[in-house]
Amino acid sequence: MSKSSSSLSSSSGGRRHFVIGDTQVKKGVPIDHFHHIAKAIIDYKPDVVVHVGDHWDMPSLSSYDLPGSKKMEGARYEDDISSGNEAFKILTDAIWKESKRTIRNKKKRWIPECHYLLGNHDNRIDRAIAKEPKFEGVISTKHLITEGFVQHPFLEVLVLDGISYSHYFQSSHSSYAIGGSIDNRLNKIGTTFVQGHVQGMMYGNRMYPTGITRHGLVLGSAYQHEEEYRGPQGNTHFQGVAVLNEVKNGDFCIMPLTLNYLRDKYGN
């Protein structure tokens, strides 16, 4: 578990977090929404930006599709890496350009704390190396460029202002991801949490007699394309990001933003 951050810069009421769900970039998918997400980040100027992982979809290293299958035809590691890097650069270029601009104004300086949590799709690189050691030194998560974003290993839990962030959370008795309702997840995780991994958005909270409120947020799809494996009924889920306001000691006020909303607001 990584070091917790609890400094408050926005107000005495807490900090603002901007959460980006799984973006799952691969060759050929639209990435114009990254410009809209970048503009929203600049507009809301959060103290913290967290991308919960699976930015690089990495179809070339999929263990579900067999070599020679239709899905694997033309899949290339270099394409997977370059496509993801191109999209992530849209975010980093915009964020750090704006940050440098505000540094000149000492009263309104904006230097966000930025984190990237490697997801299971990103982790396909390390799994491929573990399975075939000959790939060591040829493929690497070092090829995933997230300028200014601190990268965190797959399934490391990052604690910020009382929120536990991870791509997903494992059961204490197995390697499987905790699933089910938000209430079930809160019961098993035991604290305020934010994760990706599951398409769509699930949110809920639980208030305790002690006055403490714990929140649970699953935010797993910030992309426009449809995933073929989910079929015609499985691609109607929430697609977007979330702003968490007044984050303090695990409490916050959530503001979801759909990609459609961002496109309408920032598309021009």
Per-domain boundaries in the chain: 15-266
Give 63's pLDDT tier (boundaries 50, 70, 90): confident
Give 226's pLDDT tier (boundaries 50, 70, 90): confident
The pLDDT value recorded for residue 18 is 99
Q: Does the global pTM surpass 0.85? A: yes
Give 75's pLDDT tier (boundaries 50, 70, 90): low
Looking at residues 34-62, what average pLDDT do you find? 97
Return the structure tokens found at 170: 């494992």
Looking at residues 192-207, what average pLDDT do you find? 97
Give 2's pLDDT tier (boundaries 50, 70, 90): low
Q: For 86-122, what is each residue's pLDDT tens digit?
A: 999 999 999 999 999 999 887 789 999 999 999 999 9
CATH number of 15-266: 3.60.21.10
Looking at residues 37-53, what average pLDDT do you find? 98
Residue type, 123: N
Whether the per-residue pLDDT at 140 is higher than 70: the answer is yes
Report whether 180 contacts 37 (CB < 8 A).
no
Whether the per-residue pLDDT at 73 is higher than 50: the answer is no
The pLDDT value recorded for residue 9 is 47
Q: For 121-137, what is each residue's pLDDT tens digit?
A: 999 999 999 999 999 99
| Nearest alpha carbon to residue 50 among 179, 146, 180 | 146
